[in-house]
Amino acid sequence: MSVSTDPTLRSGLRIAIVGATGAVGQVALQILADRKWPADRLVLMASARSAGKEIAYLGRKLKIVEGRADAFAGIDVAFISATTAVSRELAPVLARQGVLVIDDSGAFRMQADVPLVVPEVNGKDVLGHRGIISIPNCTTTPLVMVLAALRSLAPLRRVTVATYQAVSGTGAAAVRELDEQNAAIVEGRDTARSVYPHRIAYNLLPQVDRFLDDGYTAEEHKMTNETRKILHEPALPLSSTCVRVPVRISHSEAVHVELARPVDPAEARRVLASFPGIRVVDDPANSDYPMPDQAAGKDPVLVGRIRRDSSHPDGLVLWLSCDNLRKGAALNAMQILDEAVRLGALKPRAAVN
Ligand SMILES: NC(=O)c1ccc[n+]([C@@H]2O[C@H](COP(=O)([O-])OP(=O)(O)OC[C@H]3O[C@@H](n4cnc5c(N)ncnc54)[C@H](OP(=O)(O)O)[C@@H]3O)[C@@H](O)[C@H]2O)c1
Ligand 1 lined by 172 (C-beta under 6 Å): yes
Is 191 within the bounds of a domain? Answer: no
Is 178 within the bounds of a domain? Answer: no
Verify that 122 and 105 share a domain, yes or no. Answer: yes
Verify that 161 and 304 share a domain, yes or no. Answer: yes
Instruction: Provide the number of structural domains found in the chain.
Output: 2
Ligand 1 lined by 247 (C-beta under 6 Å): no
Its domain, for residue 334, covers 7-136+329-342
Verify that 155 and 257 share a domain, yes or no. Answer: yes
Strands 251-259 and 315-322, sheet pairing: antiparallel
Ligand 1 lined by 324 (C-beta under 6 Å): yes
Ligand 1 lined by 139 (C-beta under 6 Å): no
CA torsion, ordered 348, 346, 137, 279, to nearest 10 deg? 140
Strands 100-103 and 278-280, sheet pairing: unpaired
Nearest CA to ligand 1 atom 37: 46
Nearest CA to ligand 1 atom 43: 19
Active site residue 251: yes
Verify that 121 and 252 share a domain, yes or no. Answer: no
Of 260, 342, 325, 243, the residue nearest 30 (C-alpha): 325
| CATH number reported for the structural domain that contains residue 237 in this entry | 3.30.360.10
Verify that 105 and 217 share a domain, yes or no. Answer: no
Verify that 21 and 132 share a domain, yes or no. Answer: yes
pLDDT at position 2, please? Answer: 62
Please list, in sequence order, all residues whose beta carbon lies within 8 angstroms of the beta carbon of residue 160, skipping any fewer than 6 positions away: 238, 239, 240, 255, 256
pLDDT at position 350, please? Answer: 54
Is 190 within the bounds of a domain? Answer: no
Verify that 125 and 231 share a domain, yes or no. Answer: no
Point out the residues of the chain with pLDDT beneath 50.
Answer: 351-353
Ligand 1 lined by 176 (C-beta under 6 Å): no
How many Cβ atoms sit within 10 Å of the Cβ of residue 314? 16
For residue 134, the CA-to-ligand 1 centroid distance in Å is 15
Verify that 255 and 107 share a domain, yes or no. Answer: no
* Distance, C-alpha 317 to centroid of its chain: 23
| CATH number reported for the structural domain that contains residue 52 in this entry | 3.40.50.720
Is 276 within the bounds of a domain? Answer: yes
Is 351 within the bounds of a domain? Answer: no
Helices 218-231 & 140-151 angle (0-180, nearest 10): 40
Is 353 within the bounds of a domain? Answer: no
For residue 170, the CA-to-ligand 1 centroid distance in Å is 9
Q: Residue 63, exposed/middle/buried by CB under 10 A (0-12, 13-18, 19+)?
A: exposed
Verify that 253 and 121 share a domain, yes or no. Answer: no
State the catalytic residue, choosing from 129, 198, 232, 251.
Answer: 251
State the catalytic residue, choosing from 129, 138, 242, 322.
Answer: 138
Ligand 1 lined by 75 (C-beta under 6 Å): no
For residue 105, the CA-to-ligand 1 centroid distance in Å is 9
pTM value is: 0.97
Verify that 159 and 280 share a domain, yes or no. Answer: yes
Nearest CA to ligand 1 atom 31: 47
Is 349 within the bounds of a domain? Answer: no
pLDDT at position 352, please? Answer: 47
Is 125 within the bounds of a domain? Answer: yes
Verify that 315 and 336 share a domain, yes or no. Answer: no
Verify that 295 and 219 share a domain, yes or no. Answer: yes
Q: Which residues pair with 57 in a beta bridge?
A: 60
Ligand 1 lined by 168 (C-beta under 6 Å): yes
